[in-house]
Structure 1
C-alpha cells in the first residue's frame, strides 16, 4: 500500500470518527436542551424539515422544544434525559442511529417521581457539513414510578444538594464554573 493510499484510508477513518462524534453530540444536545428548557439547543438538533414523533403525534423539530418545555413544565419539577447505549450506521451524508435513553422525572411537589426508558430511533442527515435529525421516533419500553427520597429516606427538599435550573442560570452554563451559582434543595 502506497503512502497516498494509507493517508487516504486514514483520512476516511478520521472522517468516520468525526461524523460519529458529531451525530452523538447532536443527540445529546437535544436531551440537554430538553432538561435545561433551552429551546435553541433543542431546535439546533433538527434540520428545518425535521420531525419528532411522540406517541401518535408528529411534531416539527422547530416546535418540539417549546412543546417539550410546556409538557415537562406542567407535570414535573425536574427532568433528566440520559442517553446511554448508542449505535449508528453512516452511509455518506445519511445516518441511522439507535440510542437508548432513560428519562427521570420529578413530579410536581418533588415527593414522587417516575422513570421512563426507551430508545430514540433517528435518521440524521449531514447538510452543509452539519449533522442534524430529520426524523426521530421515540419508544417507551419501561415505565416506573415511586417515592422520591434519598438513600437515607429523606426527601430532596431541604437536603442541601445543588439543584439545577431549567434555564441558562443553571451552573452548567457558568464560565468559569464557581461555587457561587445555583440553588439548593
Structure 2
C-alpha cells in the first residue's frame, strides 16, 4: 500500500476509536458504570467538570456517585464532533446535550455544552488524557405528574445501574 493510503487508514482507525470513546463515556455516565468510565481515560488523566470537579480521573470516578445521586435518569448525547489527529495525539471538541431528571425536586434539567478533549494513543489504545467541560446553555422545568404517568404507560423506562439494556444487549454488560 502507498504511504498516503496507510496514513488515511491510520486516520480512519483513530477517528473510529475517538468516536467509540464518546459513546462509551455517555453509556458509562448514564448507566453509572464506573469500570466502563475508567476505560475512557488514561491513568492519571485530568478532568475539569466546571465547579463540580477538577482533578485526576480517579477522583472524578470516586466523586461520580455523589455527583449523580440526585438524578433518577440521565441521557448524554454527543452531537457534532471535530477532531484533529497528529500521530499519537489528538484534540477534539464534542458538542453535547445532557438530560437529567432530578429526584428532589423532580425537575427536567437539560444542559448543552462541549467537551474539549486532548487524547493520546498509548500502548495502541486511544483514551482521554485531559478533558475540559464548557457549559453553553441550560433549561430547567418541573416534572409534571401527567408526564410520569404517560412515560410509565409507554413501557420500559430508562434507569441507571439496572437498566433494561443489560438484559437486551448481552455483549454490552457492565464494564464493557
CA positional deviation for 1:89:
0.3
The gaps in structure 1 that reach 5 residues or longer are 178-185
Residues matched between the structures, number: 167
Contact 2:72 2:160 in 1 (8 A): no
Please give the secondary structure, in 2, of the residue aligned with 1:156. helix
CA positional deviation for 1:176:
5.5
1:37 matched to which residue of 2? 32
CA positional deviation for 1:110:
7.8
The change in CA–CA distance for 1:80 and 1:33 in structure 2 (over 3 A counts) is same
1:126 matched to which residue of 2? 121
Please give the secondary structure, in 1, of the residue aligned with 2:148. coil
Per-residue deviation, residues 77-107 of structure 1 (Å, max 9, x unmatched): 1111111100000011000000001110101
Q: Which has the higher contact order (CA 8 A, sep 6+)?
A: 2
Report the aligned-residue RMSD. 2.0
1:156 matched to which residue of 2? 148
Query: For 1:155 and 1:53, how far apart are their aligned partners in 2?
Result: 34
2:140 matched to which residue of 1? 145
Contact 1:122 1:137 in 2 (8 A): yes
The gaps in structure 2 that reach 5 residues or longer are 171-176
Contact 1:77 1:110 in 2 (8 A): no
Of 97, 100, 108, which residue of structure 2 is paired with 1:113?
108
Of 144, 158, 172, which residue of structure 1 is paired with 2:165?
172
Query: For 1:111 and 1:70, how far apart are their aligned partners in 2?
Result: 17
Please give the secondary structure, in 2, of the residue aligned with 1:154. helix
CA positional deviation for 1:170:
2.0
Contact 1:113 1:148 in 2 (8 A): yes
Query: For 1:176 and 1:118, how far apart are their aligned partners in 2?
Result: 29
Q: Rg: which structure is higher?
A: 1
Contact 2:98 2:111 in 1 (8 A): yes
TM-score using structure 2 length: 0.85
CA positional deviation for 1:28:
2.0
Query: For 2:153 and 2:104, how far apart are their aligned partners in 1?
Result: 15
Contact 1:124 1:134 in 2 (8 A): yes
Per-residue deviation, residues 88-138 of structure 1 (Å, max 9, x unmatched): 000110000000011101010584211110000000000001001111000
The change in CA–CA distance for 1:92 and 1:29 in structure 2 (over 3 A counts) is same
1:104 aligns with 2:99: yes
